[in-house]
């Protein structure tokens, strides 16, 4: 099995190290990750400047850094580093901080996995809560089980994109595993301003979440119940529920076009 490992927290993150260790022995591991933290960049990639690659010394695995986004890392891995030897799985993480609800659109961890998915490769984004002391072994063990299962049934799991959230508990305290949907809410952002004597500046940060009603079946519900959440994602974000409601809008727009012509 050929496994591509990446993340958005950077090549030196504890989560990446734990993930690599957890996957050892499953196959040939190649690591391509940003050279610094790239949280919150989503699936963005670099077009207007060169992306540079640096090989990192590592015993037993191929390891590279890129001076770009997580998306850049996966694109370069698939189209350059391993152009002639396709990967069987892409796994991104372990992210220090959960990606729940519509935050998946902002997450560099999910964004990296999405690029694997767009190439037809089963791809996993895995994260754990933001804590000082994380039970990395739990997240790494879950990741190993997922990758192993995908490898055992390749056709069945072809082209999957999964967002996996692992609670910060030891393995013996896990209460189960759920297939979930995304919670309807997302993180709120706030701006803090200042002035350094030259100009005003602004910090964008994530607000401490307020209490919310937790809906059953969501990723957040599983996390709070100390259960692993596995949410299947799709790049088709069409809102099919409003298609019929837009017929009058279509007619009005068509009438305007005819009048202009």
Average pLDDT over residues 60-88: 95
- Helix or strand (DSSP H, E) at 67: none
Cα–Cα–Cα angle for 26, 31, 34, rounded to 5 degrees: 150
132: phi then psi, degrees, rounded to nearest 5: -70, -40
pLDDT band at 260 (very low <50, low <70, confident <90, very high): low
- How do strand 189-195 and strand 200-206 relate by DSSP bridges? antiparallel
Under 8 Å between Cβ of 117 and 4: no
What pTM does this model have?
Answer: 0.91
What is the residue-averaged pLDDT of the chain?
93
> 133: Cβ–Cβ under 8 A, 6 or more apart, which residues?
none
d(CA 214, CA 236): 25
- Whole-number Å distance between alpha carbons of 11 and 32: 8
- pLDDT at residue 187, rounded to an integer: 79
Q: How far apart are CA 50 and CA 73, in angstroms?
A: 13
Give the list of residues 6+ apart from residue 92 with CB closer than 8 angstroms, or none.
5, 6, 7, 8, 70, 74, 109, 110, 112, 113, 116, 123, 124, 125, 126
Residue 186 has pLDDT above 80, yes or no: no
**Domains, the chain, ordered by start:** 2-185+213-260 (3.40.1210.10)
Cβ contact 129:115 at 8 Å: no
Least confident of 86-95, 112-121, 235-244: 235-244
- The helix/strand/coil state of 140 is helix
What is the predicted pLDDT for the residue at 261?
A: 66
């Amino acid at each position: 099995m050929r496994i591509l490992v990446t993340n958005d927290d950077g090549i030196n993150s504890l989560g990446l190290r734990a993930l690599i260790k957890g996957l050892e022995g499953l196959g040939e591991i190649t690591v391509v990750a940003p050279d610094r933290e790239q949280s919150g960049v989503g699936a963005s990639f670099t077009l207007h400047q060169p992306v540079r690659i640096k090989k990192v010394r590592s015993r037993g695995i191929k390891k590279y850094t890129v001076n770009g986004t997580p998306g850049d890392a996966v694109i370069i891995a698939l189209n350059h580093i391993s152009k002639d030897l396709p990967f069987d799985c892409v796994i991104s993480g372990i992210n220090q901080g959960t990606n729940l609800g519509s935050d998946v659109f902002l997450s560099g961890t999910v964004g990296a996995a999405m690029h694997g998915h767009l190439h037809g490769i089963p791809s996993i984004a895995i994260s754990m809560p933001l804590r000082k002391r994380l039970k990395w072994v739990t997240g790494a063990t879950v990741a190993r089980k997922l990758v192993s299962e995908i490898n055992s049934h390749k056709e069945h799991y072809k082209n999957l994109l999964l967002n996996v959230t692992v609670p910060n508990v030891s393995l013996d305290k896990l209460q189960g595993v759920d297939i979930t949907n995304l919670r309807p809410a997302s993180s709120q952002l706030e701006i803090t301003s200042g002035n350094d004597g030259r100009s005003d500046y602004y910090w964008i940060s994530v607000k401490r979440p307020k209490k919310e009603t937790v809906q059953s079946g969501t990723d957040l519900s599983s996390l709070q119940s100390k259960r692993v959440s596995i949410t299947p994602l799709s790049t088709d974000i069409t809102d099919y529920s409003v298609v019929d409601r837009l017929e009058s809008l279509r007619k009005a727009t068509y009438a305007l076009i005819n009048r202009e012509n």
